[in-house]
Amino acid sequence: MSRARLRALLAALLLACAAGAAAQAIDPLPFRDHAQELRFQHLTQQLRCLVCQNETLADSNADLARDMRHEVFRLMQQGKSDDEIKQYLVDRYSDFVLYKPPLQPNTWLLWFGPLLILAAGAVVVAVNVRRRARAGASGGDAADGPAPDNNTEDDW
């Protein structure tokens, strides 16, 4: 392979890497001042990416997240408060757009569901431990048969 061809291939690879990095970059927005930028960052940390679901709007690289960030920025430029912006997005996407949804009757399962599952697991473990303790204290059932001999010489 000639040097010119090798250089062209290397240049093409570097260009492809640079294009991939540029595609992942979050486009800058023209903030008026640093306070507005901090407000934007704080607000987008409170909103959920509807595509990624486990990422905030600020952290997501999804196209929908980028569009939602632009929408938040547009609403900020119109002079809307944080609560008005959040309410606009909730009206459009439901409470799911909030990264920490409010505690309401329709979100109780979301808030307390993991705790209920953990409690149910603890009850199952406690019942099994008690049942085994009782079986061990009573000497076991006759139907169990004799205890196996553990003194075999072919143990690993």
- Report the Cα 147 to chain-centroid distance in Å: 49
Residue 24 has pLDDT above 90, yes or no: no
Which amino acid is it at 128? N
CATH of 28-102, one of 3.30.1120.10, 3.40.50.720, 3.30.460.10, 1.10.8.640: 1.10.8.640
Give tens-digit pLDDT for 97-149: 988 877 888 778 877 888 999 999 999 999 999 999 988 877 655 555 555 66
21 or 85, which is more confident? 85
What is the reported pLDDT for 17?
A: 61
**Domain-wise residue ranges, the chain:** 28-102, 103-136
What's the mean pLDDT in 86-98?
90
The tokens for 131 are 């049942």
